[in-house]
Amino acid sequence: MKWIVLIITTFCLTANVFSQSSSTTKKQIKMKLNAGIVTPKLAETKEFYTKILGFGVTFENEFYLLLHTPNHEAEISFLLPNHPSQQSLFQSPFQNKGVYLTIEVDDVDSIYNELKQKGIEIKIDIRNEPWGDRHFAIQDPNGVGIDIVKYSPPQE
């Protein structure tokens, strides 16, 4: 009987230690990234992303445009500069340099051919990289470079 009590006590103490240690571990914080660009070109931007890349409109008003990828996995927003509803941090317009987007796709060649047929200017022609990516690049109306890529492991 003493052995049973000792085993049960040991089990309870061990379970208590594990339950306390798991409660002190850092909780995973759920996050979703939505990149934004301040631009006066809302209409041109909407036209480009919806007609050329197949994005959908999540939300839109006279000063803000929120778009989503065709599969709803990611969003990007565009905001008019100097809008009175926004704080000074979000007032200055993007200066057409230093920002790029990467869009990962399953079939980079078909998208490349489709965009060429639509007459979209290809800024970096389709190519294979030594690290395995196959990609090409275009540019949106704001000057943002868009790298369209199919990730693959490097070929040996």
* Measured CA angle at 39 (ends 33, 41), to 5 deg: 120
pLDDT band (50, 70, 90) for residue 92: confident
Measure the CA–CA gap between 80 and 142, rounded to whole angstroms. Answer: 12
- Give 63 or 154, the one with higher predicted confidence: 63
- Give 150 or 2, the one with higher predicted confidence: 150
pLDDT at 115 exceeding the cut of 50? yes
pLDDT band (50, 70, 90) for residue 152: confident
pLDDT at 139 exceeding the cut of 60? yes
